[in-house]
Structure 1
C-alpha cells in the first residue's frame, strides 16, 4: 500500500476530480420579461420599386398597416412580358384576400429565338 505525501496528494486530486466532474452546468428557462415600454397598435407604411431597363426588371411593393388592417400591392414583370399585380388586404381575422391582375399579352419567342437567347449579364455591387 502507498503511504506518505504522494498518496495524500493522489487522493486529494482524485477527490477534486470527482467533485469537478459532478458539477454540471445548469440552465433555466422562463417566460420573457415584460417590457417597461408600452407598445401601441402596429402602424406602418412602406413603398419600394425597381425598374431597370437593361435587365428588364420591373417590380415593386407597397403596404400600409393600421392595427389589424393591412392593405397593399406588389407587382412583377413576368418572363412572358406581362406585368402581374397583386392587390391584397387583411382585415382582422378575415385572412389574406388577394386580387391578381395581368397587364399586357403573353409573348413566347419562336424556337430559333430561344436557342440564340443570351441572358443579360448582371453586375453585383
Structure 2
C-alpha cells in the first residue's frame, strides 16, 4: 500500500513540474499498409486420400479414407483395439448438419502369431573348477 501511495505522489510531482501534460508533437499520418491477399484461395476445395497399414510383425492394423467436395467431408477409419475387436468409424461433416459419426464394432479377430526372432543358442557353459593348491606348512620363524 505504501508503494502505491509513493508512486502516486511521484506522479503528481512530475505532473506539477510540467513534464506530463506538455503539448505533444504530432508526426505525419502513417502510410497505409497494403493488405496481402491470398491468391491461392480455393472457394471449392476438393481432395481425396486414403492409407492402410497391415503390419504382421507388430499386429498393427489400421486405415483411413476421406474425400472432400467443397464444404462436405465424408470418410471412415478403422483400427484394431487392444482387446482384438475392430472399430470402424464412418463420418460426415457439412455446414448444415455439422459433424456426425457412426461407430461400428466387429468381434475379435484371431491374432496373427508372431514368430519370435531367431536367437542362436549357445551351448551350456562347461563347468569350471578352480585349481586346487597344496600348501606346505608355514615356515617357522626363529626369533
TM-score normalised by length of structure 2: 0.49
Greater helix fraction, Structure 1 or Structure 2: 1
For 1:89 and 1:49, the matched residues in 2 are separated by 20
Aligned to 2:84, the other structure's residue is in SS state coil
Deviant stretches of 4+, over 3 Å: none
Higher Cα Rg: structure 1 or 2? 2
In structure 2, the partner of 1:59 is 62
In structure 1, the partner of 2:91 is 88
Tell me the C-alpha RMSD between the 2 structures.
2.7
For 2:108 and 2:39, the matched residues in 1 are separated by 56
For 2:97 and 2:91, the matched residues in 1 are separated by 12
Equivalences, count: 80
For 1:52 and 1:96, the matched residues in 2 are separated by 31
Structure 1 gaps of 5+ residues are: 1-29, 108-119
For 2:65 and 2:48, the matched residues in 1 are separated by 8
Q: What displacement does 1:95 show? A: 1.4
For 2:43 and 2:37, the matched residues in 1 are separated by 14
TM-score normalised by length of structure 1: 0.56
